[in-house]
Amino acid sequence: MEKRGRILVAEDDRKTAASLRLYLEHANYEVLLAYDGGSALRIARQNLPDLAILDWMLPQLSGLELCAMLRAESSIFIIMLTARTTEDDKLRGLNCGADDYVTKPFSPREVVARVTAVLRRNETRNGGDRHIIKFGKLKLNHSSHEVRFQSTVVPLTQSEFSLLEVLMRSPGRTFSRDHLMDKAFGADRSPLDRTVDAHVKNLRGKLQRAGADSSLIHTVHGIGYKFTEPDNDA
């Protein structure tokens, strides 16, 4: 039977890691284990998992650091595991790019259910291809590095493409300018990348010339930008 997906579990407690592996494999997922952040990063880069489950308090690289690094260079889905329960802690996890958040102690069945829900939501939205993001007549293909509005290709620079992808992967979520640039470019950001407003202005203009509504990228005054999901027939 074909596996439902490849899951990276980064957890330094070996008993917890073994339990998660057992339940995930029983649910027909392929599982990769790592017991520290450095190993998890190497495994992710070599094996390209569909989703990563990251413990917050990993040695070498923390779960937060690992989350930010993975998010800067891939579209992998991320679930954070942590005993931290304050609202600020949860926001830190989500702001580093996590898709979901599970607090300890937890049931392995709950984690499997969260994994399945995250992957299913993406399959439903993107027609089963995690590399394609589509809203209305606007479609972004991560694999081919192409954006189209209806049948028209929108010619974007690398910076514009990266910014649009970050925004489209979290519709309705407001990003500050600095946070948006960090998520789009991470450690590879150059001095030219600091002017996010200029990139967004150019991106809006190109979308508009292709026939899309430039207001898809909405300015949140005093904060930054968000992607406003259009009606399907827009």
Instruction: Give pLDDT tens digits for 191-232.
Output: 444 578 888 888 999 999 999 987 899 998 888 899 987 654
* C-alpha distance across the termini of the chain, in Å: 40
Per-residue three-class SS string for 85-131 = CCHHHHHHHHHCCCCEEEECCCCHHHHHHHHHHHHHHHHHHHCCCCC
Assign residue 163 the CATH number of its domain.
1.10.10.10
Which structural domain range is residue 199 located in?
A: 132-227
Helix (H) or strand (E) holding 37: helix 37-47
pLDDT, position 55: 93
**Domain check: are 19 and 73 in the same one?**
yes
* Greater pLDDT, 120 or 90: 120
Residue 70 domain-assigned (yes or no):
yes
Domain count, the chain: 2
Confidence (pLDDT) at 148: 93
pLDDT tens per residue across span 23-80: 999 999 999 999 999 999 999 988 888 899 999 889 999 998 998 888 777 778 888 8
Task: Annotate 138-151 with b (16+ C-beta within 10 A) or e (fewer).
Answer: bbbebeeeebbbee
Question: Among residues of the chain, what percentage have pLDDT more than 90?
Answer: 35
pLDDT range class, residue 1, cuts 50, 70, 90: low
pTM of the full structure: 0.55
Whether 233 maps to a domain, the answer reads no
Instruction: Please check whether residues 87 and 188 belong to one and the same domain.
Output: no
- Looking at per-residue pLDDT, the higher value among 233 and 186 belongs to 186
Query: 164 pLDDT exceeds 70?
Result: yes
Q: Same domain for 196 and 89?
A: no
Residues 167 and 108 in one domain: no
> Identity (one letter) of the amino acid at 114?
R
Q: What is the mean pLDDT of the chain?
A: 82
Whose tokens are 């450095």? That residue is 38
Q: Rounded to 10 degrees, what is the CA torsion of 150, 155, 158, 162?
A: -20
Place of tokens 């640039």: 181
Amino acid identity of 14? R
- The whole-angstrom separation of Cα 154 and Cα 191 is 25
